[in-house]
Chain A
Amino acid sequence: DSGVTQTPKHLITATGQRVTLRCSPRSGDLSVYWYQQSLDQGLQFLIQYYNGEERAKGNILERFSAQQFPDLHSELNLSSLELGDSALYFCASSPEDTFNEKLFFGSGTQLSVL
């Protein structure tokens, strides 16, 4: 168990809908990262927050947004969903802003857009 909690584990929704994925980092970790894992794109970095502030942005679509709350949990909001958004979304945490050690990954939220 990595200590990173993601909910829900599975999510099935329809095109055009909006969903929210939740992540609770390991106790004491200030950084939260979101990654998308899909069959065609592989594992892609979406966005990082550190202590409530956005610190880095990757290949995140404009239809997607995220935030980190004062209690350090994070939410990833996906709107106007398309079939191609079906993927496994991972959250990871680390204690630092820039990491040279390691990330702790949650077990992911499997999103299916029908």
Chain B
Amino acid sequence: GDSVTQMEGPVTLSEEAFLTINCTYTATGYPSLFWYVQYPGEGLQLLLKATKADDKGSNKGFEATYRKETTSFHLEKGSVQVSDSAVYFCALSSPDTGRRALTFGSGTRLQVQP
């Protein structure tokens, strides 16, 4: 079945540091890929998405590129802020499920220190 593997956290960075959170996936067909962010006490919010190979999703300084050859969708940001502290989830939706359900990774907690 479909699965998403993320790097374990927590990831602790200083403000203005470069961020990479690794995500790889296993799926049949051509899934759509997503990054969601969860701030403390809140529900998940879509951060960015990519629906086909080589697409780059971007939002709020975050970027991720859909790499079919390496089945990866790594999240990057050039300069993190304290306000970026949250849990980040990589997810996919598969055409096999009619794109109805998201399969999530385990989440990576990011802590940014001033």
Contacts and interface: CB of A to CB of B under 8 A. Distances in A.
Interface of A: 2, 4, 33, 35, 42-45, 48, 55-56, 58, 90, 92, 97-100, 102-103, 105-108
Please tell me the size bucket of the interface on B: 20 to 34
Interface centre among A4, A44, A105, by most B CB within 10 Å? A105
B42 interface: yes
B106 A45 contact: no
Contacts of A102: 34, 46, 49
B43 A105 contact: yes
Contacts of A4: 43
A99 B93 contact: yes
Contacts of B102: 35, 45, 103
A56 B102 CA distance: 11
Given A42-B106, A42-B107, A98 B43 contact: no
B101 A56 contact: yes
A105 B89 CA distance: 13
B97 A108 contact: no
A111 to B, nearest CB: 15
A99 B101 CA distance: 9
29 contacts: A4-B43, A42-B105, A43-B44, A43-B89, A43-B107, A48-B101, A55-B100, A56-B98, A56-B100, A56-B101, A90-B43, A90-B44, A92-B43, A97-B98, A97-B100, A98-B99, A99-B93, A100-B32, A100-B51, A100-B93, A100-B99, A102-B46, A102-B49, A103-B46, A105-B43, A106-B43, A107-B41, A107-B42, A108-B43
B32 A98 contact: no
